[in-house]
């Protein structure tokens, strides 16, 4: 390592990680950042890619070159040096240095940890079989595409957003796919039982078998080591399901090892305050590796909020502060339109507006409390979901619109 990089930093920003949060931060800082230089430390050794587009990539709807937005010129123009691969092994917050596995050191003035997360695999017998995959990174997608060339039957475990996207992608690649979900309600964090039933029907029409209320108990393999499938428990009934490819989309685990070794406060993620600063001065954390007010993150919308606040902080605007707010959740599958935000299970006294048309695959549910919108659920017809989201976030009374609210913005504007 050159003396220039290992000597005390002169207004240098180091960013550990080159994923979605890190690159979004660079986009937000753009040309206006105050640093003499920014060093982006990447341990993957691959070009930055838009992780939001991994599902379309798996499905064959986009190519890799369309999801890698930043080339070397883009970084150079913003005084950013991308060091790749540069796997960080240790952070010394007292000396303001980070160390690589080979002993090289870099000094920093400000440090941002954006190490992301990895798939959280359940502790099942046989889970370490090579035909078991996560679905979180470009490496995961590459591995799935290679495995899918020879596989015929896939099981996807986890009926949340990522699990459904993985199931659809593998089905579009020609595999027979079964989607398993522990909860009786598919996408139970975003959908009620009626919307989930319609989504199950839509997946079945695509040739995907959906099994809910089922828990895997073991990964099965033959005496020769070949994958056979999964052992399942469904309401106390044990059975086996055959497959030659398994995908687990059952949550994430924040990559906090570097922070723990550095002595930072860590729970499920790296604990940060409203300035996104960790327990160490000049050390910040954003994205899926961080934790704020007891919450950790797997969706991109709150991460974008974090990025905006941190960019302002790094520019010297210390009044910028991060706070939790509700966001619209979207299922990213072509032809399967699902948007959800806020509460969707009514409590006593709530006003529930509902429109259900199973023949068209349309379901809309709006939840009101004290004449204010507190939750929305749109399946099959999402034309007005952004407007509903604005109404929800504003907290304004929708009492004058109550009778017409389900019919959408254009109708409500027409009678105003």
Which of 221, 248, 275 terminates a domain? The answer is 248
Encode pLDDT of 73-116 as tens digits: 999 999 999 998 899 999 999 999 999 999 999 999 999 999 99
Encode pLDDT of 243-281 as tens digits: 999 999 999 999 999 999 999 999 999 999 999 999 999
Evaluate whether residue 211 is within a structural domain. Answer: yes
- Stretch (H or E) spanning 28: helix 20-29
Judge if 202 and 242 occupy the same domain.
yes
Evaluate whether residue 13 is within a structural domain. Answer: yes
Judge if 297 and 347 occupy the same domain.
no
Secondary structure (H, E, C), 161-229 = HHHHHHHHHHHHCCCEEEEEECCCCCCCCCCCHHHHHHHHHHHHHCCEEEEECCEEEEEEECCCCCEEE
Total domains in the chain come to: 3
Encode pLDDT of 186-220 as tens digits: 999 999 999 999 999 999 999 999 999 999 999 99
Judge if 139 and 205 occupy the same domain.
yes
Judge if 225 and 276 occupy the same domain.
no
Judged on CB neighbours under 10 Å (0-12, 13-18, 19+), 19 is: buried
Judge if 347 and 240 occupy the same domain.
no
Judge if 146 and 95 occupy the same domain.
no
Which of 248, 282, 299 terminates a domain? The answer is 248
Encode pLDDT of 334-343 as tens digits: 889 999 999 9
Encode pLDDT of 120-161 as tens digits: 999 999 999 999 999 998 999 999 999 999 999 999 999 999
Judge if 144 and 235 occupy the same domain.
yes
Identify the CATH number of the domain in which residue 269 sits.
Answer: 3.50.50.60
Angle between helices 161-172 and 193-205 (to 10 degrees): 10
Containing structural domain, residue 31: 3-117+252-314
Identify the CATH number of the domain in which residue 352 sits.
Answer: 3.30.390.30
Q: In this structure, are residues 241 and 214 in contact, taking their beta carbons and an 8 Å threshold?
A: no
Evaluate whether residue 322 is within a structural domain. Answer: no
Evaluate whether residue 320 is within a structural domain. Answer: no
Which of 228, 248, 268 terminates a domain? The answer is 248
Average pLDDT, the chain: 94
pLDDT score of 361 more than 70: yes
Judge if 303 and 363 occupy the same domain.
no
Place of tokens 């550095």: 262
Evaluate whether residue 225 is within a structural domain. Answer: yes
Judge if 16 and 99 occupy the same domain.
yes
Judge if 61 and 48 occupy the same domain.
yes
């Amino acid at each position: 390592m050159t003396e220039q990089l290992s000597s005390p930093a002169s207004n240098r920003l180091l960013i550990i990680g080159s994923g979605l949060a890190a690159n979004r931060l660079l986009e937000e800082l753009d040309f206006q950042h105050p640093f003499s230089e920014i060093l982006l430390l990447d341990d993957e050794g691959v070009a930055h890619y838009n992780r939001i587009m991994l599902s379309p990539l798996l499905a064959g709807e986009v190519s890799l070159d369309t999801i890698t937005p930043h080339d070397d010129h883009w970084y150079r123009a913003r005084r950013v040096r991308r060091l790749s691969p540069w796997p960080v092994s240790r952070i010394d917050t007292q000396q303001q240095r980070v160390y690589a596995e080979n002993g090289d050191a870099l000094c920093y003035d400000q440090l941002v940890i954006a190490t992301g997360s990895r798939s959280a695999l359940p502790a099942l017998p046989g889970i370490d079989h090579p035909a078991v995959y996560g679905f979180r990174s470009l490496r995961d997608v590459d591995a799935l595409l290679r495995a899918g060339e020879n596989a015929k039957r896939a099981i996807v475990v986890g009926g949340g957003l990522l699990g459904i996207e993985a199931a659809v992608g593998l089905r579009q690649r020609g595999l027979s796919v079964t989607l398993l979900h522990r909860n009786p309600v598919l996408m139970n964090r975003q959908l009620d039982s009626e919307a989930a039933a319609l989504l199950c029907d839509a997946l079945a029409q695509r040739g995907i078998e959906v099994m809910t209320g089922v828990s895997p108990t073991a990964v099965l393999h033959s005496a020769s080591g070949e994958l056979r499938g999964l052992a399942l428990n469904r309401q106390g009934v044990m059975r086996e399901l055959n497959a030659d490819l398994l995908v687990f989309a059952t949550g994430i685990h924040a990559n906090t090892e570097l922070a723990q070794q550095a002595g930072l406060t860590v729970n499920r993620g790296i604990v940060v305050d409203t300035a996104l600063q960790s327990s160490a001065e000049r050390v910040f954390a954003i994205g899926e590796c961080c934790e704020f007010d007891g919450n950790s993150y797997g969706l991109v919308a709150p991460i974008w909020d974090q990025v905006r606040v941190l960019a302002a902080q790094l520019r010297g605007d210390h009044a910028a502060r991060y706070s939790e707010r509700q966001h619209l959740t979207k299922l990213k599958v072509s032809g399967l339109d699902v948007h959800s935000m806020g509460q969707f299970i009514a409590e006593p006294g709530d006003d529930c507006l509902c429109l259900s048309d199973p023949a068209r695959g349309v379901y809309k549910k709006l939840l009101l409390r004290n004449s204010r919108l507190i939750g929305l659920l749109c399946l099959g017809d999402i034309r007005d979901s952004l407007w509903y989201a604005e109404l929800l976030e504003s907290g304004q009374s929708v009492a004058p619109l109550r009778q017409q609210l389900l019919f959408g913005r254009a109708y409500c504007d027409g009678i105003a």
